[in-house]
Amino acid sequence: MRWRPRGTTDVLGAAAVVLALAVALVQATAHLATRAAESWPLLLLAGLAGAAVLAGLRVRDRLRRRADGERLARLRIALSELDTMGDQEFEYALRDLLVRDGWAARKVGGGGDQAADVIGVRPPLGRIVVQAKHTRVGGKVGSSVMYQVKGTAGPAHRADHAVVVTNGTFTRDAMAWGDRHGVRWVDRDRLHCWAHEGKALHELLGLPARRSRPPWRRTV
């Protein structure tokens, strides 16, 4: 049951309690304001220190990104070094070479990769899918790889360009089939120009700007 004042005494008592609470609140607020006024230099210094730390972190990240970019711009990999790599290392090397050439590239190879080991994007050239085939020296890549890449580059990865890269060579049928059906190839000689001499992949292969209708969407 709600309490109700029964007379003047009760009303005055309630008013006194409310007044006491109000005075206490005012005093507490004044105390906090006084403490803040007394400690404002410390608060200012703390704020300045925090801002300096944030600025330092941003500068460090900017310098690190610039250093990484400069390192990649100078990236050169000899064929002898590529030959000694494992499959995973070879894929990461191709990713780094694409990044050097200005592509936003990432390694995606693995189980269920649907014939894509590296995918990159670079306006206005569009989207590129790279299938890496690391072989022993003298090994050859056959036409079946070209068939697989053509079958997945567009439908599975929405790529504008598909490229198969090997440190070996391609069979004549594989090169001819790739040329006819829009699957580009990089053999040992072209890989030397790309990785060691520093020529950009899109310049080496003459990749056109993004098309409204990639070659694998055409009726064969």
SS3 assignment, position 170: strand
CATH architecture for residues 79-217 = 3-Layer(aba) Sandwich (3.40)
Reply yes or no on whether the pLDDT at 220 is more than 50.
Answer: no
Reply yes or no on whether the pLDDT at 196 is more than 60.
Answer: yes
What are the sequence ranges of the domains in the chain? 8-71, 79-217
Average of per-residue pLDDT across 105-116: 82
Instruction: Write down the mean pLDDT value for the chain.
Output: 84
Nearest C-alpha neighbor of 87 from the set 33, 133, 19, 156: 133
Give the N- to C-terminal CA distance of the chain in Å, as an integer: 88
Q: Contact, 74 vs 67, CB < 8 A?
A: no
Reply yes or no on whether the pLDDT at 212 is more than 70.
Answer: no
pLDDT digits (tens, 9 = 90+) for 132-174: 999 987 799 999 999 999 999 989 999 999 999 999 999 999 9
Q: 127 burial class (0-12, 13-18, 19+ CB within 10 angstroms)?
A: buried
Q: Contact, 83 vs 101, CB < 8 A?
A: no
> pTM (2 decimals)?
0.66
Q: Which of 52-61, 101-110, 166-175 has the lowest mean pLDDT?
A: 52-61
Residue 93 CB contacts under 8 Å (≥ 6 apart), including other chains: 77, 82, 85, 195
